[in-house]
Each structure stands twice: as structure tokens, then as C-alpha cells.
Structure 1
Amino acid sequence: MEENNKPQNKFQTSIDLLNDAIGKEIATSLQYMYFHVRFEDAGYEYLSRTMRQISIAEMRHSEEFSERIMYLEGDVRMDASFATRQIHDPQEALRLAMELEASTIEFYNRASRICSEHNDAVSHKMFQDILVEEEKHHDLFRTELQNFLDYGSKEYLVLQSIAGSKANSSKAGHTEGHDKE
């Protein structure tokens, strides 16, 4: 007989995988939010906005995994799986983002299979559905890194700055051709 007379949850394997996923999602969300504020401060409008949007998507994944754990009558752990890295270089940030997404893709593929093997079709499908989004994130970061390499760091960052200047100008009420007096 178990110490606390409480039977083992038959979904404990899924709960553990979901909690590991939450840790990855929280840590990744914080990392991307860090990149967002760094790039916003540097005037890299597109990169900043992209990092913010993906950070929010990662936090939404944490919420979805948490809701699933609660349904399975487990307990949610809200522990980031790694500390935020203070990277200032956009190229290095894009490389890290690609690595994080690749690692997540590998983990979710494995977690999906394991959940299926343990007769948890819903968690299996949840991992598959979120995997589609993670692959889109990976592809976006790969494309941006390739643009960075193809155009060169100076040219790529100039384009980012111009986009930021245009956005700030339109927020201030200026439009092209109408600010001449």
C-alpha cells in the first residue's frame, strides 16, 4: 500500500512530459521577450515585433499545457527550464532562437509518441498541434538568419532600423509626402 493511500495517476507520464514542456515554453517565452525589449531599444522594429509575438505564443502554449495537466488531475510546475541569456547581437539571438525551436521540435515529437504509447490521445494531439507552430517559428528564425547572412549584418540591421523609423513616424502622425512645408 502506498504511503498516502493515493493511487498513482495513470497519466503521470503525460503530466511529467507536459510539465517539462511548460518549463521549455516559459523559458523560451522569457528569452524571446528579452530579445524583444533589446531589439526595440535598438530600433529593430521587425525583429522586436516578431520576438514579442512569438513570446506571447509560447506563453499561450504554457497555458494550454497547464490546462491539460489540470484536467489530468496533476499538478502544474511553473519552473523555467533555463535562465534567460543576455544576448545583444541579433545574429547570435537568431541562432539561439533556432536552436531553442529545434530542441522543442525534437522534444515534442518524442513526447507526442510517448503520450500515444501511454493511451493519452489528447496530449498526443496537443503536442502535435503545438509542434506545427514551433516549426513555423523555427522556419521564420531560419529565414531571418539567412537574410542576415545574405544581406550582411550592416545592411540587414539598416533595413530593421528603417522599418522602425517608418513605424515611429506614422505613430507621430507623419506620412510620406505630407511633412513638407
Structure 2
Amino acid sequence: MKAKEGVVDFLNKVVTMELTAVHQYLLHASLCANWGYERLQHEFHELAKEELAHASKVIGHILYLEGAPDVQKLGTVSSGRSVPDLFQADLRFEQDDVTLLRDAIAHCAKVGDFTTRHQLEDMVVETEKHVDWFETQLRAIKQVGLENYLSEQIKK
């Protein structure tokens, strides 16, 4: 099936975003493991797996649309020196991802590609859940204090 105008371009931007997320979450998982926060290491590892699944699905869809997946690009991987720094960077990243997905959804609706639009709508729901998770973690840190929060992250 041939892609409608601009759809593959948007999908390749989504692939770049998802692959960047995989790298960022793997880095954050490693940092948390190094700092001794097993629970957070596990959470970041799970997030990386979800993002990899998103990237794989989008790449497959690009191929279905007879496009060329661009897996050569990677965005900036953000890091930090503390758990709150990681959460802030990841929250911003996921918010940017939501914006991109919404723009892609709007474009797909405009050009009449409802199959791609539906797949992107599923992804934006999952991405909004990630936004909520990071907001919840940052709120918990404010409410119970960083030391109390981190003490709960030591063991799975």
C-alpha cells in the first residue's frame, strides 16, 4: 500500500523519537542500577522495552506503506546526576513525544490515512501514561521527600 503524502516523514520522526527513548531509558536504567535503585532500574528497563516495541511497530508500518524506515538518526539523549533530574528529563521527552504524535495524528486525519492514525492514537495513549507516571513520581518526591522516596527504590 502506498503511503499518503507526508505520512512516512512523520513516521520516521516517530521512529527517531522512539529509538532515542530506548537509548535514554537504557542509560537511566543503568544509572539507577549503579546508584542501587533496583526498582527504578526495573521501571526504566520496562520503559525501554515498550519504546522498542513502538519503534518496531512503526518501522513495520513504514515498510507496509512502501516507505524507507530511517533508523540512522537519534535525538539528544538526556541524562542527569540525580533521580529527579532523570524524571524531569524524561517528562519533557515524553511531553515532546505526545506533541509529535498528536501532530502526526492530525496530519493522517487530514490526508485520510485512518489506519496509521489509529496506530498513532494507540501510541499516544501509552505515551500519555508515561507522562502521568513521571508526574506522579515527581509529586511523590515532593510529598514524602527525596530520601524517603529513594529508600523505597532500593529493592524490587
Alpha-carbon spacing, 1:143–1:16, altered in 2? closer, same or farther (3 Å): same
1:58 to 51, 54, 57: 51
1:75 aligns with 2:63: no
Determine the structure 2 residue equivalent to 1:13. 6
Per-residue deviation, 1:40: 1.2
1:37 to 26, 30, 36: 30
Q: How does 1:152-171 map to 2 (within 5 A)?
A: 152-161=145-154, 164=155, 167=156
1:85 aligns with 2:78: yes
TM-score computed with the length of structure 1 as normaliser:
0.81
SS, match of residue 112 in structure 2: coil
Amino acid at match of 1:120: D
Partners of 1:59 and 1:31 lie apart in 2 by 12
Per-residue deviation, 1:81: 3.6
Of structures 1 and 2, the larger Rg is shown by 1
2:92 to 69, 74, 99: 99
Partners of 2:125 and 2:6 lie apart in 1 by 22
Amino acid at match of 2:96: S
Gap runs ≥5 in structure 1:
1-8, 168-181
Partners of 2:75 and 2:3 lie apart in 1 by 29
Determine the structure 2 residue equivalent to 1:24. 17
Per-residue deviation, 1:10: 5.0
Partners of 1:32 and 1:91 lie apart in 2 by 14
Number of aligned positions between the proteins: 155
Determine the structure 2 residue equivalent to 1:46. 39
Amino acid at match of 1:37: S
2:16, 2:74 within 8 Å by CA — same for their partners in 1? yes
Partners of 1:105 and 1:79 lie apart in 2 by 22
The alignment yields a C-alpha RMSD, in angstroms, of 1.4
1:26, 1:59 within 8 Å by CA — same for their partners in 2? yes
Partners of 2:73 and 2:140 lie apart in 1 by 31
Partners of 1:89 and 1:30 lie apart in 2 by 18
Q: Percent identity?
A: 23
TM-score computed with the length of structure 2 as normaliser:
0.93
